C-alpha cells in the first residue's frame, strides 16, 4: 500500500509528451486566488479579511492574525488551505475583532486587501473554486502548442481528481497511519508515527526515530525536536506509561481524522486509476456526481445518463468509505468492495473512536475552466478549478516531470 500512490499514479494524457520545466522557482511563479462562494453582506458579528500572503501557510497566517488581535485562533474561520511557497489571495472570518483593528494589521508577508462584515463564520468548502496563475520555467517556447493540446484534452475529458501528495504528508504515510487506526493496531501505528527514519526529515528527527525503532523510548524522547509537538506528546505518554494503547488513546482527535481521511483518499486514488481510461464514461450501478450542487444518485441506465456526462453536468464518483457513504451497485460496486478487501477491511469495520467516518463521494474528474496560456519568461498557465482540487494534477499532466509530481 505504501508504493501505490503519488508519483506512481498514471496520466490521463499518457499518450501526449510533457513539456518538462520547473515550478515554484520563486513564490511569484505560483499565484492562487480564492473565488468566493458569496460576498460579505456588510453587517454581522464576523469581520471578513481578504489578504495576500507570500511564503506563509494558511494556518501560519491565521496564528499570526490571532496573536496580533489577541484572540483565540478558534474565532477565525477559513474556506481553504493554501501553500506556503506561493502568493495567495484568500479570505478569513474573524469573530471578536473590530474592522478598524483588522484594517490596521501589520504582519510581515501579509497585505490587507479588504475588510468587510458578514453574519456567519467561514468554513472549509465555502468556496466557488480557486484561480491559478502558474509560471513553468525552463520550457522551450516551441512546446507551447503541446501544452495547449494537453490542456484542451483535460478540458474535454476532465481533470483526474486525484488527491495530491499534500494529503499524505512529508513521509507519505498518513494513509498507513489511518489504516492502523481502523485496524486498532497500536504497535503498527506507533511504528509509523514515531519510527522509520525518512530521508526527507532532518538528521535529529532521523536519530530520534532510529532510537524509537531500537526500543529506546526515553532516548527517542530526549532527542525529539519540539517542533513535532504532537508526536513528542504521544511519545512522552508512551515513555511514562509503557502502554502503546494508552499512548494511542492520547492522540489528538484532529490528527485521527486527518489520518483516516488520508486512508480514504488513498483508496479513492486507487479506484480512480482503474477508471482513468474511461473517466468520462458512466457504467450501470455507478454513483454519479452532479457538478451543479454536489448531490449524488445511483445510475440505473448508463446509456440514458451518458448525454449528461458528455455535457459535463454529471460524472462518475468514487467512494470515501465510511458509515454513511452511498454504495455503488453492479460492477462498480464490486470493484469498490474489492479494494477494501485488498487491505482486509470490511465496511462495517470503518470506525475509529474520536474520528467521524461518515464517508461520502468525490467525482473522479473535475472541470477545468478559464484556461489561458501565454509566454512570459516561461510558460504561464492560467486556469480555475473547483474547491478541493489540486493544481498539481493539471501541472503533472502538462509537464510529466518529477517536479510536478502530486
**Domain with 291 in it: what CATH number?**
3.30.2350.20
CA 322 to chain CA centroid, Å, is 18
C-alpha cell at 323: 458509515
304 and 345 both lie in a single domain: yes
Q: Is 25 exposed, middle or buried (0-12, 13-18, 19+ CB in 10 A)?
A: middle
283 and 355 both lie in a single domain: yes
Phi, psi dihedrals of residue 214, rounded to the nearest 5°: -80, 0
Residue 81 lies in a domain: yes
The C-alpha atoms of residue 51 and residue 61 are separated, in whole angstroms, by 10
186-194 and 229-241 are packed helices; what angle lies between their axes, rounded to 10 degrees?
130
Total number of domains constituting the chain? 3
Residue 265 lies in a domain: no
Q: Tell me, what's the pLDDT at 1?
A: 55
C-alpha cell at 328: 455503488
45 and 106 both lie in a single domain: yes
69 and 11 both lie in a single domain: no
* Active-site hit among 29, 83, 157, 286: 83
371 and 360 both lie in a single domain: no
Residue 170 lies in a domain: no
18 and 88 both lie in a single domain: no
Q: Which of 80, 85, 89 is nearest to 113 (CA)?
A: 89
- Answer yes or no: are the C-beta atoms of 25 and 137 closer than 8 Å: yes
Q: Which one of 102, 124, 146 terminates a domain?
A: 124
Phi, psi dihedrals of residue 351, rounded to the nearest 5°: -145, 130
Q: For this structure, is 83 an active site residue?
A: yes
Residue 228 lies in a domain: no
Q: Tell me, what's the pLDDT at 345?
A: 86
Q: Tell me, what's the pLDDT at 351?
A: 78
97 and 139 both lie in a single domain: no
83 and 45 both lie in a single domain: yes
Q: Tell me, what's the pLDDT at 4?
A: 43
61 and 111 both lie in a single domain: yes
Residue 178 lies in a domain: no
Looking at residue 320, what DSSP letter applies? E
Residue position matching grid coordinates 509509523:
192
Q: Tell me, what's the pLDDT at 405?
A: 56
Q: Tell me, what's the pLDDT at 3?
A: 43
- Answer yes or no: are the C-beta atoms of 208 and 225 closer than 8 Å: yes
pTM of the model: 0.87
283 and 352 both lie in a single domain: yes
Please give the residue range of the domain that contains residue 113: 38-124
The segments of the chain whose pLDDT lies below 50 read 2-6
User: Sheet containing 287-290: which strands, arranged edge to edge?
Assistant: 296-298, 287-290, 314-320, 360-363
Q: What is the CA radius of gyration of the chain?
A: 23
- Answer yes or no: are the C-beta atoms of 357 and 105 closer than 8 Å: no
148 and 17 both lie in a single domain: yes
Residue 188 lies in a domain: no
Residue 56 lies in a domain: yes
The C-alpha atoms of residue 197 and residue 204 are separated, in whole angstroms, by 10
What whole-number percentage of the chain has pLDDT above 90? 81
The C-alpha atoms of residue 150 and residue 275 are separated, in whole angstroms, by 19
19 and 134 both lie in a single domain: yes
Residue 77 lies in a domain: yes
The C-alpha atoms of residue 282 and residue 261 are separated, in whole angstroms, by 26
CA 377 to chain CA centroid, Å, is 29
Amino acid at each position: 500500500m505504501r508504493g501505490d500512490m503519488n508519483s506512481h499514479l498514471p496520466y490521463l494524457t499518457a499518450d501526449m509528451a510533457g513539456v518538462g520545466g520547473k515550478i515554484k522557482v520563486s513564490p511569484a511563479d505560483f499565484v492562487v486566488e480564492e473565488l468566493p462562494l458569496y460576498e460579505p453582506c456588510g453587517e454581522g458579528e464576523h469581520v471578513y479579511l481578504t489578504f495576500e500572503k507570500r511564503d506563509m501557510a494558511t494556518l501560519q497566517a491565521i496564528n499570526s492574525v490571532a496573536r496580533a488581535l489577541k484572540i483565540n485562533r478558534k474565532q477565525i474561520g477559513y474556506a481553504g488551505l493554501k501553500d506556503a511557497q506561493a502568493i495567495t489571495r484568500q479570505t478569513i472570518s474573524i469573530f471578536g475583532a473590530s474592522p478598524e483593528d483588522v484594517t490596521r494589521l501589520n504582519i510581515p508577508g501579509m497585505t490587507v486587501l479588504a475588510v468587510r462584515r458578514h453574519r456567519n463564520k467561514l468554513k472549509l468548502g465555502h468556496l466557488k473554486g480557486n484561480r491559478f496563475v502558474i509560471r513553468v520555467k525552463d520550457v522551450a517556447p516551441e512546446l507551447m502548442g503541446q501544452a495547449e493540446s494537453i490542456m484542451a484534452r483535460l478540458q474535454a475529458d476532465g481533470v483526474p481528481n486525484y488527491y495530491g501528495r499534500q494529503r499524505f504528508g512529508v513521509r507519505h504515510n498518513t494513509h498507513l497511519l489511518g489504516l492502523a487506526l481502523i485496524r486498532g493496531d497500536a504497535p503498527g501505528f506507533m511504528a509509523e508515527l514515531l519510527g522509520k527514519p525518512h530521508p526527507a526529515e532532518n538528521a535529529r528527527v532521523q536519530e530520534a526515530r532510529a532510537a524509537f525503532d531500537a526500543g529506546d523510548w526515553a532516548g527517542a524522547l530526549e532527542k525529539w525536536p519540539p517542533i513535532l509537538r504532537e508526536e513528542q506528546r504521544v511519545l512522552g505518554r508512551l515513555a511514562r506509561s509503557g502502554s502503546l494503547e494508552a499512548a494511542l488513546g492520547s492522540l489528538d482527535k484532529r490528527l485521527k481524522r486527518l489520518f483516516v481521511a488520508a486512508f480514504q483518499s488513498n483508496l479513492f486514488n486507487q479506484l480512480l486509476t482503474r477508471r482513468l481510461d474511461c473517466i468520462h464514461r458512466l457504467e450501470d450501478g455507478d454513483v454519479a456526481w452532479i457538478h451543479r450542487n454536489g448531490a449524488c444518485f445511483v445510475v440505473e441506465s448508463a446509456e440514458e445518463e451518458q448525454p449528461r456526462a458528455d455535457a459535463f453536468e454529471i460524472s462518475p464518483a468514487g467512494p470515501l468509505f465510511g458509515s454513511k457513504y452511498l454504495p455503488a451497485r453492479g460492477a462498480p460496486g464490486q470493484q469498490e468492495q474489492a479494494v477494501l478487501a485488498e487491505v482486509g477491511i470490511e465496511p462495517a469495520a470503518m470506525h475509529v473512536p474520536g474520528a467521524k467516518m461518515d464517508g461520502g463521494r468525490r467525482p473522479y474528474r473535475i472541470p477545468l475552466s478559464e484556461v489561458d496560456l501565454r509566454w512570459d519568461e516561461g510558460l504561464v498557465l492560467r486556469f480555475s478549478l473547483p474547491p478541493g482540487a489540486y493544481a498539481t494534477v493539471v501541472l503533472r499532466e502538462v509537464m510529466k516531470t518529477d517536479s510536478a509530481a502530486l
